[in-house]
Amino acid sequence: MKAARISVVVPVRNGRALLPDLIGALETQTLPRDDFEVIVVDDGSEDHPEELFDRASRPFRVIRRVGGGNVAAARNTGWTSSTGQIVAFTDADCRPRPDWLERGVAAVADSPRVAGRIVISTGDPPTYTERLDRSRFLRQERYVREGFGATANLFVRREVLTSAGGFDERLSKYEEDAEIGRRAASFGFAIAYRDDVVVEHPSRRSPRQLLEKAIGVGYGCGRSVALHGTSLRSLTARGIDRVGLASQTNSASMEPSLAIGHLALAAATATGAVWGYFSARRR
């Protein structure tokens, strides 16, 4: 069997309800199906997602990772088990547009790393929570300025992953994409943002989910700073930059209620960052 031109890696943990949309989106890509493989890494699910892939019209390779609960390790399992010279990362709750792979492959010919646009899907009209989520998280164009892309929509040449050494598995849920991105940048691998390489991502539906996300991002940032020997002083700067506090709350066009929401989430991120930093230092 010939090696695939591109490998799609999807970690999943207890995401069975979300998978039908992802499967349908990958089965209807404009790129010929023989040109890509899909590797799904079951990261310790209890809802048996492999049953859905068994019923798919084209083969999906499912790898069950013993233990589970570590998305960085799941992605490492996926890409090291793949055959493609291009690796595309997305998540179980994402829905790639039909031309996602075709456009991503074209883009990565010009840049070793490509971060595509992530569209936060909302109701019509969107709720306050959905508007806050859409204005704050998964802003790839901003992430690229920091040297990384969120793995909900990221294409990389295989050489990037082998040179960088894969994802840091000590960052088990958050910030693993930012950390490997900055590491790849230190090896000289450029990253480009492409707004025509698109996946859709569902909005978080409740303020609690937004707060959990903000705390988690901060926690991962704090752990990353501690584990990689960066000074405590840089923790505050990186945490603020990571969630875009300066650029978002200073906008003259932002309505006051959204600005207040951004400040609340920034406080949650700062709390998570301190927690993550000192939890890593204690070990």
Q: What is the pLDDT along the chain (283 residues), one digit of tens a residue?
A: 456 689 999 999 888 888 999 999 999 999 998 999 999 999 988 877 777 877 776 778 999 988 888 999 999 999 999 999 999 999 999 999 999 999 999 999 999 999 999 999 888 888 888 888 887 788 899 899 989 999 999 999 999 999 999 999 999 888 899 999 999 999 999 999 999 999 999 888 888 998 998 899 888 888 888 888 665 555 555 555 554 444 454 554 668 888 888 888 888 888 888 888 888 887 6
Regarding whether 210 and 92 lie in a shared domain, the answer is no
- Both 98 and 226 in one domain: the answer is no
- Looking at 173, 205, 237, which one is the last position of a domain? 205
The encoded tokens of residue 25 equal 């989106």
- H or E element in which residue 215 lies: helix 207-227
Q: Domain holding 161: CATH number?
A: 3.90.550.10
Residue 76: the pLDDT is 97
Do both 138 and 74 map to the same domain?
A: yes
CA angle in degrees (0–180, nearest 5) for 219-133-259: 90
Please name the helix (run of DSSP H) or strand (run of DSSP E) that holds residue 39, with its range, or none. strand 36-42
In angstroms, the Cα distances linking 121 to 16, 25, 99, 203 are: 19, 15, 18, 6
Residue 152 is predicted with a pLDDT of: 95
Q: Which of 222, 89, 245, 112 is nearest to 167 (CA)?
A: 89
Tell me how far apart the alpha carbons of residues 37 and 188 are, in angstroms, rounded to a whole number: 28
Report how far apart, in Å, the C-alpha atoms of 219 and of each of 87, 152, 223, 248, 283 are. Answer: 27, 19, 6, 21, 15
Q: Exposure of 41 by Cβ count < 10 A (0-12 exposed, 13-18 middle, 19+ buried)?
A: buried
Q: Distance between alpha carbon 250 and the CA centroid of its chain, in Å?
A: 26
Q: Are residues 71 and 170 in the same domain?
A: yes
The domain total for the chain is 2
173 plus 243 within the same structural domain: no
Query: Which residue range forms the structural domain that includes residue 226?
Result: 206-283
The DSSP output letter for 112 is: S
**Of the candidates 4, 42, 10, 34, the residue with the CA atom closest to the CA atom of residue 23:** 10
Query: What pTM did the predictor assign?
Result: 0.88
Q: State whether 149 and 214 are in the same domain.
A: no
Among residues 205, 234, 256, which one ends one of the domains? 205
**201-215 burial, b for 16+ CB within 10 Å, e for fewer?**
bebbeeeeebbebbb
CA 41 to chain centre: 15
For the chain, give the number of residues: 283
pLDDT at position 249? 46
Pairwise CA distance, residues 56 & 12, whole Å:
16
- Decide if 177 contacts 242 (C-beta within 8 A): no
Can you give the pLDDT at residue 180? Answer: 95
Nearest Cα residue to 33 out of 16, 57, 63: 57
Query: Would residue 1 count as lying in a domain?
Result: no
How many Å is the maximal CA-CA distance in the chain?
A: 58
Answer yes or no: do 238 and 111 share one domain. Answer: no
Does some domain include residue 138?
yes
Show Cβ contacts of residue 198 under 8 Å, excluding neighbours closer than 6 positions. 96, 97, 100, 116, 117, 118, 119, 153
